[in-house]
Structure 1
């Protein structure tokens, strides 16, 4: 018998002063049986970083044809494709052909660096790729906020993201920008 996803609920308040985006989101997050709290919370942070009215969680780990998050326009065209972790070259190239913007957020310290180095030159021609790497320890700190029912506040200002639940100390999420989209 296959294991089922665990459902998490998050009320997320976002104050993104860098993009002037302020909104409350009631999110339902399906955590795949093989997914860790760290990865799930990085997906939630990815949502906060790129939030819009049409951004939504996808099947991700359960379906190779879908990212962790995407935003589609009214015609169904993919505006944003967001993956968390270390996708392979084929997945990134496929996403680049299907979406206006492709964003990858990796985490995991040295393992992410080892993954990115050979991949960097192979995806150099991808013009619409943003590659971010969370600082080591961020994902583990985020995992401490994971609960089946969460009330979270996210503040983004000057390239820093703070995520808190009003009980524990907020978590500072910082990242390196390994790659930016190439202007056309």
Structure 2
């Protein structure tokens, strides 16, 4: 954990009807001093929406050779490279070559993020998807964020329902293919 990092906890449950994933959540998330609350909240949601065996948070923004969230199989082989925010094209190219699957979750305007990659060389860009949320959704979640959080995440037909510390929010999970 980076010096000066603030630890947040998220305790609750996940019901992802779309993928048939149901689990109890008990997450400890270190927010790096240079990381915004919006980035961290997006990282938590990416973790929940991608939850599978072998998933873990990486060192976050302080790690240059791993994405925000990573999935490894039982042998340690990298199976999913999950970025958050607006990573540069070189990083996506690198991640796409290393992992079986690469996805991005952003709290920013998806059109502006996609424009950053236009015309850039990204390995298997046609297989990469940028996921975004409705405008204001992440900001509303950040507004009720505390150091210790009660969270319930439900997903059905790409509609995300988030109950965070007693406040219920919802958003469509929008998919924007790169290629």
TM-score, structure 1 as length reference: 0.88
Partner of 1:72: 72
Looking at structure 1, the residues matched to 130 and 150 of structure 2 have their Cα atoms a distance apart, in angstroms, of 28
Partner of 1:116: 114
Residue 28 to residue 166, structure 1, CA distance change in 2 (3 Å):
closer
Partner of 2:174: 176
Partner of 1:106: 106
Establish whether residue 165 from structure 1 lines up as the match of residue 164 from structure 2.
yes
- SS of the aligned residue for 2:52 comes to coil
Looking at structure 2, the residues matched to 128 and 98 of structure 1 have their Cα atoms a distance apart, in angstroms, of 14
- 8 Å CA contact 1:11–1:151 kept in 2: the answer is yes
Q: Could you list the per-position Cα deviations for residues 110-133 of structure 1 after superposition, in whole angstroms to 9, with x for gaps in the alignment?
A: xx4223125144338434312112
Residue 7 to residue 89, structure 1, CA distance change in 2 (3 Å):
same
Residue 159 to residue 148, structure 1, CA distance change in 2 (3 Å):
same
Q: CA deviation at 1:74?
A: 1.1
Equivalent residue pairs, number: 177
Looking at structure 2, the residues matched to 175 and 142 of structure 1 have their Cα atoms a distance apart, in angstroms, of 15
Q: CA deviation at 1:11?
A: 1.1
TM-score, structure 2 as length reference: 0.90
Residue 132 to residue 91, structure 1, CA distance change in 2 (3 Å):
same
- 8 Å CA contact 1:7–1:29 kept in 2: the answer is yes
Task: Output aligned runs, 1:23-38, within 5 Å.
Answer: 23-38=23-38
Gaps of 5+ in 1: none
- 8 Å CA contact 1:100–1:128 kept in 2: the answer is no
Partner of 1:142: 141
- SS of the aligned residue for 1:91 comes to helix
- SS of the aligned residue for 1:40 comes to helix
Partner of 1:49: 49
Residue 118 to residue 20, structure 1, CA distance change in 2 (3 Å):
same
Looking at structure 2, the residues matched to 95 and 124 of structure 1 have their Cα atoms a distance apart, in angstroms, of 9
Partner of 1:10: 10
Gaps of 5+ in 2: none
